[in-house]
Amino acid sequence: MKRLLVYLKDYKKESILAPLFKLLEAFFELLVPLVMAGIIDRGIAENDESYIVRMGLCLVALAAVGLTASITAQFFAAKAAVGFSAKLRQALFDHIQDLEFTHIDQVGTSTMITRMTSDINQVQNGVNMTLRLFLRSPIIVFGAMIMAFTIDVKSALVFVAAIPLLGIVVMGITFFTIPLYQKVQAGLDKVLSTTRENLTGVRVIRAFHREAQEEAQFHEENTALLVLQKFVGRISACMNPVTYIIVNGAVIVLIYVGAIQVNTGVLTCGEVVAILNYMSQILVELVKLANLIITITKALACAERVAQVFETGPDENVPGTGVPAETGVSENGTQDKQKPVQRNKETPYLVFDHVSLTYAEAGEAALKDIDFSVQKGQTIGIIGGTGSGKTSLVNLIPGFYPATDGEIRLEGRNIDDLHAEEAKCGKDILRARIGIVPQKAVLFQGSIRSNLLWGKPDATDAEIWEALELAQAKEIVEGKDGRLDAEIAQGGKNLSGGQRQRLTIARALVRKPEILILDDSASALDYATDAHLRKALQSLQGKMTTFIVSQRASSIRHADQIIVLDDGEMAGIGTHEQLLRECEVYQEIYYSQYSEERRRT
Separation of alpha carbons 415 and 594, rounded Å: 39
Separation of alpha carbons 471 and 515, rounded Å: 16
Report the pLDDT value the prediction gives residue 180, as an integer from 0 to 100. 83
Report the pLDDT value the prediction gives residue 542, as an integer from 0 to 100. 65
Instruction: Provide CB contacts within 8 A for 264, sequence distance 6+.
Output: none
Instruction: Provide CB contacts within 8 A for 594, sequence distance 6+.
Output: 553
Q: What angle do CA 42, 47, 53 make, to 5 degrees?
A: 75
Coil, strand or helix: which one is 269? helix
Which residue numbers in the chain have pLDDT < 50?
315-345, 599-601
Residue type at 239 in one-letter notation: M
Instruction: Provide CB contacts within 8 A for 424, sequence distance 6+.
Output: 326
Share of the chain residues as helix, strand and coil, in percent rounded to the nearest 5: 65, 10, 25
The sign of the CA dihedral 59, 61, 64, 69 is negative
Q: What DSSP line would sit under 540-583, residue for residue?
A: TBTTBEEEEE-S-HHHHTTSSEEEEEETTEEEEEE-HHHHHHH-
- The CA dihedral of 222, 223, 226, 231, to the nearest 10 degrees, is -140
Q: By C-alpha distance, which of 108, 274, 93, 131 is closest to 194?
A: 108
CA atoms within 13 A on the CB side of 580: 13
Report the pLDDT value the prediction gives residue 499, as an integer from 0 to 100. 81
Report the pLDDT value the prediction gives residue 346, as an integer from 0 to 100. 60
Report which secondary-structure segment, H or E, holds 350: strand 350-357
Coil, strand or helix: which one is 46? coil
Fold of 350-600: Rossmann fold (3.40.50)
Report the pLDDT value the prediction gives residue 595, as an integer from 0 to 100. 64
- Which value, in Å, is the radius of gyration of the alpha carbons in the chain? 35
Report which secondary-structure segment, H or E, holds 329: strand 327-329
Give me the CATH code for the 2-311 domain, please: 1.20.1560.10
Instruction: Provide CB contacts within 8 A for 425, sequence distance 6+.
Output: none
- Across the beta sheet with 350-357, the strand order is 367-374, 350-357, 405-410, 413-414
Q: What angle do CA 33, 34, 40 make, to 5 degrees?
A: 85
Report the pLDDT value the prediction gives residue 455, as an integer from 0 to 100. 75
- The CA dihedral of 345, 347, 352, 353, to the nearest 10 degrees, is 160
**Other CB atoms within 10 Å distance of the CB of residue 535:** 11
Instruction: Provide CB contacts within 8 A for 256, sequence distance 6+.
Output: none
Q: What are the boundaries of each domain within the chain?
A: 2-311, 350-600
Coil, strand or helix: which one is 586? helix
Report the pLDDT value the prediction gives residue 326, as an integer from 0 to 100. 40
Strands (E), 426-544: 434-437, 446-447, 487-488, 515-519
The sign of the CA dihedral 112, 117, 118, 122 is positive
Q: What is the pTM of this model?
A: 0.64
